[in-house]
Amino acid sequence: MNNIILIGFMGCGKTSVGIRLSYLLKQAMTDTDRMIEKLSSMTVSEIFDKYGEEEFRSLETDCLRKLLQEPDNQIISVGGGLPMRSENRELLKQLGKVVYLRVTAPTVCERLSEDMSRPLLQGSNPEEKIRELLEKRSPIYESAADMVIDVDGKDFDEILDEIVKKM
Ligand code: S3P
């Protein structure tokens, strides 16, 4: 399929870049977290609290399967942990071009310092958790990506420019 899928760690800018890309390319934008919240009538945090991470990952898989049945040419922003399931990586490949927005831990900490509400960052030391998770996930994001864009220190225009040039 012909979609553009944005992957990357929490706070890398998937949603903000996705919205701008959708305006620029005049293509519809979908966000898997919002899709799951709408379908389940629960917030992501409520799903984690009530059913746990594995169940949330299964909902992400269902979501990708649904998107495979929809018209393509969409910009799809996915939750930061979605590519961690190998089944999901396979589905991402079928959906279209996978763009990894790569960010470093200090930038994530700075961007999320105002909002550490994400379920996986709960606990005593969210900054340590960010570093650990990012280290573990980075090679997986890279293996899932058709294109890698380093986003640290770049504004949205530069990021969009780079994505469009590399398409
Ligand atoms: C998660 C990232 C979140 C959301 C959920 C789990 C993760 O999405 O899907 O809290 O495992 O990294 P964002 O990357 O959009 O914050």
Residue 31, ligand 1, Cβ within 6 A? no
**Which amino acid appears at position 60 of this protein?**
E
Q: Residue 133 has what pLDDT?
A: 95
From the CA of 56, how far away is ligand 1's center (Å)? 10
CA distance 92 to 64: 7
Domains of the chain, earliest start first: 3-166 (3.40.50.300)
Among 5, 17, 118, 138, which is best to mutate for testing ligand 1, by the most ligand atoms less than 8 A from CB?
118
Q: Which residues contact 98 (CB under 8 A, 6 or more apart)?
A: 5, 7, 92, 144, 145, 146, 147
CA distance 20 to 18: 5
Q: Supply the pTM of this predicted model.
A: 0.96
Task: Tell me what the pLDDT averaged over the chain comes to.
Answer: 95
Q: Residue 114 has what pLDDT?
A: 75
ipTM: 0.98
**Which amino acid appears at position 19 of this protein?**
I
Q: Which residues contact 82 (CB under 8 A, 6 or more apart)?
A: 7, 32, 57, 60, 64, 88, 92
Q: Which tokens hold the place of 9?
A: 């760690």
| pLDDT tens digits, one per residue of 106-162 | 999 988 887 777 888 887 788 899 999 999 999 999 999 999 999 999 999 999 999
DSSP H or E run through 4: strand 3-7
From the CA of 45, how far away is ligand 1's center (Å)? 10
What are residue 6's DSSP bridge partners? 77, 99
| pLDDT tens digits, one per residue of 2-26 | 999 999 999 999 999 999 999 999 9
**Which amino acid appears at position 6 of this protein?**
L
